[in-house]
Chains A and B, each alone.
Chain A
Amino acid sequence: MAVDLDAISKSLRNFVRSHNAEFQKLTGRQSQLLEVGAFLTAAKHYEWIGYDVKLHNPRRGQIRVKLGTRGHPWNFSRFEIWGDGRRFEIHTNLPVRDAAETPGARYVVDVAVARSNRIPTSTPGHGQPGFEALANDHLITFVEAKSLVIYPMLIAQFIGIVHELKPAFLHERPADDFIEAGHFYPSLVSLGYLHGTCRNIVRGFPARQIHIGIVPEFDEAISRLASGPGDSPLQSARATGVEEVIVF
């Protein structure tokens, strides 16, 4: 049956116009929401594998998520996670020194899992050293969030980020302690789907000793998380084994 595209298109145009304010907001907050989701998911990952998790520095019952490069980490909420004698923190948009500790070089990662007590929890006092970036050794793993379809070049870009921050994940088996602790691999999460050829790229990671996570359609992953305990969308060697990779 012929579809009256013109009539439907006019109807949709009127719908968009009548909901213009909401569509404006939709555009403006997509990236922020993805980073919020990544932060909460990282905390849930550890809770589900048996760690205790505590939210620090809410303000009047509100989680405050740092976006972008501005602002000090102590002014935003963080998660403290501990268990089995291990203790870590999860921060948002944390500046981190590169793997070569190049003077002055730092990257801001969307979600950082760091060794505990390496980041000030309040403004450094007079005479105390200021905080510019987390030392690279104190970064355990991280998440980058992109509200884009995962095309091959986006994966290549993420591999470049991992090369700058944690290159060992690109050519070595993760350390035993990393595996036993249940940490997730450096991960790229996206609202978009995984473009066709990307599945083949991801399947090839174990043979190349590349240990990173690629998580498309992250909104569905958050939806599953919020409905109850299950599998974390963030891949860890403890869950899947070092030689395996999850291909969504």
Chain B
Amino acid sequence: MGYMPLPASLTKFSSQLPYGLRVDLEGYVNSVAAAQSEIYAESRVGLDAIPTDEFLFVAAVWHLWTHVDSQRWIVSNSLRLADEFGAGSIQAGAVRLSSGSGDVEGLRRLHNDFRRWLYRNDLEFVIGAQNVGALLSRLTERDGDGG
């Protein structure tokens, strides 16, 4: 399957991501681009209602947010479960997790900073979106409200 070139607005920031994360994110956006007409149709959004570049950019931001958010919750909840079993920390290969450790605090800061960035840039609606169709609906509402 041939992929369309990704918007410059997306590659401008994705090029700064670590290679694995970049490949994952751009691959995801390509799959969204390929299904765009179906996504718009299922969400009952006209193809001209939200420009493609904007939709794909927001999808990329959402995908990146879910990466950060899901790790944040896995780490904090795994530590909570480990504590219930009498362990204060977890080691898995090179990953060492304990409350207050550098890795855990770094992830918490990234999560908080990213959340703040989303709010500052009027993109807080990506938080909690369950799927890309819901994301599109939220984006349509925001743009329709003049947001």
Contacts and interface: CB of A to CB of B under 8 A. Distances in A.
B93 to A, nearest CB: 4
B141 interface: no
Contact of A21 (B19, B54, B106): B106
B90 A65 contact: yes
B13 A33 contact: no
B92 A65 contact: yes
A167 to B, nearest CB: 30
A23 interface: yes
A94 interface: no
B137 interface: no
A36 B109 contact: no
A9 B14 CA distance: 9
A44 interface: yes
A29 B12 CA distance: 25
B86 A55 contact: yes
Interface in A90-135: none
Contacts of B130: 193
Q: Which 4 A-B pairs have the closest CB atoms?
A: A226-B77, A219-B70, A65-B92, A13-B13
Given A5-B53, A19-B110, A79-B85, 9 more contacts: A8-B9, A19-B113, A30-B71, A55-B87, A62-B88, A62-B91, A77-B87, A219-B70, A219-B77
